[in-house]
Structure 1
Amino acid sequence: MNKGYLVLETGDILEGKWIGHQDETMGEVVFNTSMTGYQEMITDPSYAGQIVTLCYPLVGNYGMNPDDNESQKPACQGVIVGESCDQPSNGKMTSSFSDQLATWGIPGLAEVNTRKLVSLIRKHKTLKGKITANPKTVTVFPEPLFAPGQLVEQVAVEKAVSYIGQGKHVILLDFGYKASILNDLLKQNVRVTVVPYDTSLKEIQNMNPDGILISNGPGNPDDHAMHFPKIKALTDLYPTLGICLGHQLIAMAYGASSKKMAFGHRGGNHPVLDHETGKIWITSQNHSYEIDPESCIDLELAVRFTNVNDTGIEGFFHPEKPVTTVQFHPEARPGPVDTDYIFDEFIESLVCTGGKSSCQMQQV
């Protein structure tokens, strides 16, 4: 393997060896602490624009296979690992980690001191970085790295796609959804229509949904302020569930604001308290932004979930409408499935309300 380098905006340079597609790339350098699920991580659309550092020492030991992808092709800019296994063993595998990255055109570096890299990110907060073969070239990082809304536009569907089911009809408003979210809905035997994030309110109403799910996705939630009135209207009309970015967008549609975290939450071991039951669940998370608690003092939404480690807001509910939001990923993959009951609650809200909000039911 040829030598490669990760050049950070701080001037720090980490040496490694090329894996995957050997071409320069630039992005926001982040880290994930999960011990398994490297394939699900790098195919998560929420990593668009980012160079993903996988903290677990050995990556690729069970190879890659088409069944575990969260999207058809990764949107991440690159991958950094400590060790990449070249001789994986798994009955399902169809390629090695490095070979699959090359097929996808994703650059990567192995044999990098990932402990040092994570320490640098934690010290300086999330950093811009460049994977290159020549560390001596002058690197200028644009600000911002990507145009507002560019990342969501890159990963969202371009037209509506329908998935047949026998039950209620759910519109999945796509800002970069994971396949596992769709699969968990289909397991509930509902009919799902995935629509682009910029689909109009009227178009959605014409599809006669029973409920709305607003997906995860990459980038800054502030970039989507033009969609706040539509999102607020959807929560007025239909039972609604927001996941990750969807959680942020619903909260901001009600008047909350977001802020960027020092280095985000990415991993499969984040403890979250459900105030409705008093139970603590271990959750899978992947986000750079969070809702600012100071903006929620007079919010119409009420806090249902908080992070045990840093007391951050992890989810809301509406006291009068069937609206729930979660910052974590109830579909997991990778990670624990403690909170998959969120999907059960969502489907139950469709049945109990007949696909109508509380306000609508009062008006009937």
Structure 2
Amino acid sequence: MKALLVLEDGRIFPCRSFTGPGEAKGEVVFNTSMTGYQEILTDPSYYGQMVTMTYPLIGNYGVCPEDIESDKIQAAAFIVKEYQDFPSNFRSKGTLADYLIKGHVLGIEDLDTRALTRHIRKSGAMRAVISTSNLDPDVLVQKARQIPSMQGSDFVGKVTTKKPYFWRYNQPHYVDINKLEDPLIWHFKGKKHSVIALDFGIKYNIIRCLEKAGCEVLVVPAKTDVKTIKNLKPDGIFLSNGPGDPEPVTYAVDTIKGLLGFVPIFGICLGMQLLGIAMGGKTMKIKFGHRGGNQPVKNLSTNKVEITSQNHGFAVDLNTIGKNQCAMTHINLNEDSLEGLENDAIQVFAVQYHPEASPGPHDAAYLFNQFVKVIENAKA
């Protein structure tokens, strides 16, 4: 089925839909990963974005229920060079096309993804519309320009959990944190380290990695207040990844400010950006973002280089944070941007990339154990 991708600057990309009729809109970004399209599609950090895969052949290993990172597809649309409708994989439970159709998400192919990626790298991530019903470029350009900008948009409320939950049998188990007599709440203060994860768009594999490191994780909504969190007396706080601009998420910043110095805090991606703002800094939008599984990051304490998985369009400007507030721990080797910060005095640290890397490199998996060590030192 014929389709058209039109960017807000007027650039036009003819294509075809492999998921039937439809129309989609959002910010167009690209991801350089060779595998992991299902994890990418279900990553809440992609809410409001149409994802372009730079690897040319997508769909060849189908989809598997165990590989999801949230309860639904979060991306606004999926853009590939060539779709493979006949997967070969013993784990596959269906085709990518059927998965997208079930999730009401438009998928397009026969598009020059290399040209689109080069255009985004040169001009920056931008708003766009994909349509199979209206193929008038002028009309679609106007639609694209009317889409709210990613900058200034709070998307956290669209992806955060509505109710607190523990991770049980590889799925959320919801609880009422106001009922402290709940057996699960008592279990939260058991032999494992109790960690409250503020959900700004958390990926399931982050919870698995925290549990593997020895933590009992209670995931709570993004707007959970400081008093509620302190009443649960956790051993540590985790600040999750998530979509959109961190600056408008003022409620989360206020909560983080109230938790600084309470117990150890570990943040990832959007969690790092919100932590940076809470510590007096500012954030900035990156021209085309970091999205893929091959970003080189240097650990300044070990001088080792980590190949990392990343997905973000905003970053903390270290120049806006006083040196007495925090120190830089990691740096991106492609452009010298900030990738990690810490403050030993109040036992907080964060990284801009994804150490859970599902899928992706495992170079940074040590950070979950590092968090546990900080918690143990705080307890001692």
TM-score when normalising by structure 2: 0.90
- Tell me the equivalent position of 1:190: 215
Deviation at 1:21, TM superposition (A): 5.5
Letter of the aligned partner of 1:211 in structure 2? G
* Cα deviation 1:47-83 (Å, max 9, x = unaligned): 0000000100000111001000011101111010001
Which one-letter code corresponds to 1:154 in the other structure? K
C-alpha distance 351-293 of structure 1, shift in aligned 2 (>3 A):
closer
Partner of 1:358: none
1: CA distance between counterparts of 2:163 and 2:91?
32
Please state how far the C-alpha of 1:31 moved relative to its aligned partner.
0.2
Q: Displacement of 1:314 after TM fit?
A: 0.3
Distance 1:28 1:316, change over 3 A: same
- 1:235-291 Cα offsets, whole Å, 9 max, x none, are 210100000000011011011100101100011111111111111111000000011
Secondary structure at 1:237 match in 2: coil
Moved more, 107-116 or 136-145: 136-145
Aligned residue for 2:85? Answer: 86
Q: Measure the CA separation in 2 of the matches of 1:314 and 1:192.
A: 25
Q: Residue deviations 1:137-159, cap 9 Å, x none? A: 61322252479555211111011
For structure 1, which segment, 182-191 or 209-218, has the greater mean C-alpha deviation from structure 2 after superposition? Answer: 182-191
User: Would the aligned equivalents of 1:169 and 1:190 in 2 still touch at CA under 8 Å?
Assistant: yes
The equivalent residue for 1:163 is 167
What's 1:135 paired with?
A: 135
Give, in whole Å, the separation in 2 of the partners of 1:184 and 1:227.
Answer: 23
What CA distance in whole angstroms lies between the structure 1 residues aligned with 2:252 and 2:289? 24
Root-mean-square deviation (CA), in Å?
A: 1.6
**One-letter amino acid of the structure 2 residue matched with residue 235 of structure 1:** L
Change (3 A) 1:28 1:57: same
For 2:207 and 2:344, how far apart are their aligned partners in 1? 27
**Is 1:302–1:318's contact at 8 Å kept on the other side of the alignment?**
yes
* 1:312 aligned residue: 337
| Structure 1 gap ranges (5+) | 355-360
* Equivalent-residue separation in structure 2 for 1:104 and 1:299 (angstroms): 47
**Residue 62 (str. 1) matches residue 66 (str. 2):** no
**Structure 2 alignment gaps of length 5 or more:** 169-187
**Comparing 17-26 and 202-211, the one that deviates more:** 17-26
Aligned pairs (5 A) from 1:324-363: 324-354=349-379
Counterpart pick for 1:233 among 251, 255, 258:
258
How many equivalent residue pairs? Answer: 354
Question: Equivalences for 1:1-364 in 2 at 5 Å?
Answer: 2-20=1-19, 22-133=21-132, 134-136=134-136, 138-139=139-140, 140=142, 141-142=145-146, 144-145=148-149, 150-163=154-167, 166-298=191-323, 300-354=325-379
Cα distance in 1 for partners of 2:212, 2:249 equals: 30
In 1, the alpha carbon distance for the partners of 2:20 and 2:237 equals 38
Q: Residue 156 of structure 2 contacts residue 249 of structure 2 at CA under 8 Å; is this kept in 1?
A: no
Q: Take 1:276 and 1:142, find their aligned partners in 2: how far apart are those partners?
A: 46
Quick check: 278-287 or 150-159, which moved more? 150-159
Following the alignment from structure 2 to structure 1, what is the Cα–Cα distance between the partners of residues 313 and 150?
15
Paired letter, 2:76? Q
Q: Deviations over 1:70-105 (max 9, x none)?
A: 111011110100011110011111111111100111
Query: Cα deviations across residues 152-192 of structure 1 (Å, max 9, x unaligned)?
Result: 11111011112367401100000000111011012123211
Are the structure 2 counterparts of residues 98 and 143 from structure 1 closer, same or farther at C-alpha, using a change threshold of 3 Å? closer
- Aligned partners of 1:22, 1:192: CA distance in 2, in Å? 41
For residues 230 and 272 of structure 1, what CA distance do their matches in structure 2 show?
29
Structure 1 residues 45, 246: CA separation in 2 closer, same or farther (over 3 Å shift)? same
What is the rounded CA distance, in whole Å, between the counterparts of 1:190 and 1:21 in structure 2? 44
Deviation at 1:126, TM superposition (A): 0.8
Normalized against structure 1, the TM-score is what?
0.94
Report % sequence identity: 41
